Structure 1
Amino acid sequence: MAIPSYSYFVLLAFHFLLLVESSKNPDLDALMAFKAASDTHNKLTTWNSTSDPCTSWTFVSCFKNRVSRLVLENLDLSGSIEPLASLTQLRVLSLKRNRFSGPIPSLSNFTALKLLFLSHNGFSGPFPATVTSLVRLYRLDLSHNNLSGNIPATVNRLSHLLTLRLDQNRFSSHIPVLNLRNLQDFNVSGNRLSGEIPKSLSGFPESSFAQNPALCGAPLVKCGESRSAGAIASPLKSGSSNPPMPRNSANGAPKMSRATIIAIVLGDVLVLSVISLLLYCYFWRTYSAKLKEGKGSGSGPGSNLLESEKIVYSSSPYPSSQPGFEKGQMVFFEGLKRFELEDLLRASAEMLGKGGFGTAYKAVLEDGNVVAVKRLKDAQINGRKEFEQHMEVLGRLRHVNVVSLRAYYFAREEKLLVYDYMPNGSLFWLLHGNRGPGRTPLDWTTRLQIASGVARGLAFIHTSCKALKLTHGNIKSTNILIDKDGNACVSDFGLSTFAIPSSSSTPRSNGYRAPEALDGRKQHSHKSDVYSFGVLLLELLTGKCPSVVDTGGPVDLPRWVQSVVREEWTAEVFDIELMRYKDIEEEMVGLLQIAMSCAAAAPDQRPRMSHVVKMIEEIRSGVDMSPPCHDTSDSVSESPSLSEDACGGSQ
């Protein structure tokens, strides 16, 4: 039996409707219901049912075609936020400075939520109990509303919480004991709270608890003490002809006379003066005796300096009194000699740290100049000529993102390298130092700038001397230093040539080494540097030290990131300190892709540093990234290069 022609049309129309329905954004209906209920002044002009919220709506961001970020601040919105409850993939919700009112509805569907800002509205009722089920939450701001009742102890479930702002509400009763080890921003001022402040919160400033008259305990006054001395003074009765005798407030005894007090003070001053004079005489005699002893000994310059005030390289490398030994000399690059070894020995110094090739010091010379000195130890150097030729190459490298080698000293048992001093410390300290309350976190713009600077410095090292194929060999966050202008500078480059071969068949990984570099028989290469740089990018993105992740045990950071990305949300890998910044998720994901490309297990799958520089700059400029290329030229735009003449002495 033939099917009428109109039946084909009906089937085709039905199929078209199914396609349209399946392509519609799953969050569209909820957003349109919210607009209809809350946007009485039509501020959300781009929101309509015929367009895709992820591509054409303002105030909306998406991830994998689901709404992940909704920022609707100061738009005069009102009513209830309950229609938003079905946005199950929401990670950031900010409704600051609107006119929403009534109790906060259930938020239990927001299982992916990380940032929640509902401040400066008219929400009322108790603390929203369902908030404590949002275990991924980092920021919670309910300030400047009309919330009342108790602050529940179940807030402790929010173990990742960095911010908890409940100020300017009507909360009452006591503050529960909160053991939130990551908490950095806490405020409950302007409420009706009472009782003692828990010791776990006593480290926050007084302003965090202000305008709660019944609160006590650190950082406010101790419980049981009066807030002012005047509160305990009994007023004199009016009409009393015989005022009471002044009495001591501590035990009721009569006060001492003014003459007695003056006599006691003068006596104390006299005793202290005598003691000071005796101490002065004693130390002056000791100092004079040492001074005469030093002059009479006829020793060289700096012999009367305290050992703690100078760098102990060696007391006198190969003194002339020993036959057959020749004292070394300082060799400078670019210009005349500025100081001798003796000047370094006289310099006041402090140890900056120990690395795989020796100890680094900050040395302040007598003329006020500051340099960094590395004393090479645990290095395999075959002879003076090899060392000097290699130093000649390293000493000619000049780039804004490379720490300049200014001079070196060579003697048989003493090798010193003199570098520019970097006053702002290392990337390791910026990322991992002082991660408690009061810490200033490393913001996203600075992290991206550091990533770009390190990439440029490393690319310059790789391309500066093509005949030698220079490598770094030890890229890690402690070897990335920050100069006075905030530029990231690569240090300790080129020293892997002097590495002592491992006696073990399986050298220990430091978390940055490429898999092939763990084979003691293989030398470092450009590709192994790229792997280490990829791990460094992951450190910038996750805020975690390579080899040590949440469990505290040794973990391969690239492998850990891969497992999290594969099994959970990609955003789970990012440093919690980056959650405060807006509109950076796309850039973070872009840099994560570069990092994972650099940290590929197979060396031939890793891009060259010259291409990595370009990809990072595309992120910084907002241009779409091209896919990683493994066969690009070695040129680095806008990077100064080194002529082949610089390599001639070491070929």
Structure 2
Amino acid sequence: MLLFYLFTFIFLDFSLVSCKQSDNMPLTESDYRALTSMKAQLIDLNRALISWNGTRARTCSSWAGIKCVTGRVTSIQLPWKGLQGRISESIGQLRALRHLSVHDNGLVGSIPTSIGLLRNLKGVYLFNNRLSGLVPPSIGNCLNLLAIDLSNNRLTGFIPPNLANLTRLYRINLSRNLIAGLLPNELGSLSRLNFLDLSNNTLDGEIPVFLFEKMANLSVLNLSDNNFTGQIPDTIGNNNVSSLTSLDLSRNNLTGEIPVSIANIKNLSSFDVSYNDLFGPVPPVLAKKFNSTSFIGNIQLCGYSFSTLCASSSQEPGNNPPFTSQQAQQNHHKLRKNLIFISASALFLVVILILCCILLCFCLMMRKKRADKSGNSEPMPAGSSEPEMGGKLVHFDGPFVFTADDLLCATAEIMGKSAYGTAYKATLEDGNQVTVKRLREKMTKARKEFEIEIGQLGQIRHPNILALRAYYLGPKGEKLLVYDHMPNGSLASFLHARGPETIISWPTRLSIAIGTSRALHHLHDKENIIHGNLTSTNILLDEKNNPRLAEFGLPRLVTGPASSELVATAGTTGYRAPELSKPNKNPTAKSDVYSLGVIILELLTGKSPVETDEDGPGLPEWVASIVKEEWTNEVFDVELLGEAGSDVGDELLNVLKLGLHCVDPTPGARPDAKQVMEKLEEVRPCLNDSVEEVRPGPKE
């Protein structure tokens, strides 16, 4: 198949010169000595650094995980390599280093103080190791630092106040450590900070009142699971933190009432103050917006559920004086005057508000024009990168790291199209492959709302669900989703596009059915997600034929009108539950189970549900008619009937009954995904989860 540059049609006006080639110059003497010294203190059980055994004459591109410019090391990217040992102080000799990413390893010891010598450093990602000691105060010298993530280590000591020197910081994550002491007031000066997570430490004292005075860009604040005392500052709800979307103060020792000012934060979508010592009424706006789990564990807090109503004071009936008709008439005139006054005041305020909005829009337009002329850009969040062409790439996790330029310069081939967009198999410069889905234009939500939703989808992890590893936002509104690439393609092609020489065994088919049911159960019960378009095309297979459910959660990324249009055609013909043919009927968990039942029947029969005649019966109806005539054996794929043993026959019949139960025309009669999973697991409890049994058939 003809290979072409991925997304060339998106970026026609950008030169391919921006795709930087690997540095083919040899390392400088100082950087060579620094790397060899670093390797000497690392334990490389997985031989990830085997290429570090060369001489200085070797080009930079031959050193695994290293990127250079003119022979100087600019990036160390060695996540998920199983590295142990310590980070050497010699790292301070890499004066051109901009990006340090050695997260998800087994590194121990302290973070080198020499890191403060790296004045060009922009990102430090050391999370998920076993590092101990202090957060080095010298890191306050890295004035170009944009993101620092030291979470999930064993760090102790205090938060260095001189982190406030890093005025370009966009993200700080020190969560899940043993850091103690007070929260420095100085952090309040970080006006560009977007993400601050200090949860799961032993911080104490009061939350500084001045912390929120300048944090105009703060979106996520997590101080949960610490020992903070005192009251929640009123300043947390002022206009300076209006961009806050997530606030977690749970599991501390906070007292006092919940400030009413928090209700003024319009964008707040996640809020948790549970398990403190708060008292008094919950502001009505917050009680209505968030469920009771946000407030539980505060014995004296009231007004957030029907079982925690606040006591109200009222006068005794006998204490009320008699009320004459003359007084009633006087009160009526007073009330009428008050209403006129209030109406006039409200009208005046509305006019003032409209004028302020017009003035604000004008100021924002002028500011944008000045920003466009100056060419300056804001720093990118952690896990993201900005190529020369101006897009934004955000990583969640994954087996390897790539930049936005790497992605956009990859070669690709079209895999298929769906209602949401086009999927490609992209081969990066280093040979790694990913699946990239380009969403249809003009159907996705606005950027801010899109990033909130995609951030939640990027956290979903399950052995049978296709992992979303990254997303890319282009300069012209393009949106690309990056997933793991599954080498064995879809279940549909696996079943229906193979040659006659390949036979798929019953254990393999049963394993695929079990894995798919587990994925659907996880989406329904753990993530509260309805798939809405479950087909064998959306079930992908890895190198061991383990299933990975794809195309989940995409309705969350599209606008209301687009979602309505997609709902109207939800479900592929042959897999679509009958109740979805009714107008304005949304997919449900039961309609997903119907689609799962069709897939189970597809595995048993070897027949494709989409290949049936339009006027003829669908696959469920055809199977039901055969069973009704007691010709059950004619239902099963002839390959399965060749497998010996009465046990296999009983297993086939049990799974057939379950499949027919799933495609019951009445939604309420169908089992839920958990019940389907449990029934399938009972069929053959000893079945290995990683069945890889595809064998050649007889050759004629």
- TM bin, normalised by shorter chain, reads 0.3 to 0.5
* TM-score (structure 1 length as normaliser): 0.44
Q: Which structure has the larger Rg over C-alpha atoms?
A: 1
* TM-score (structure 2 length as normaliser): 0.41
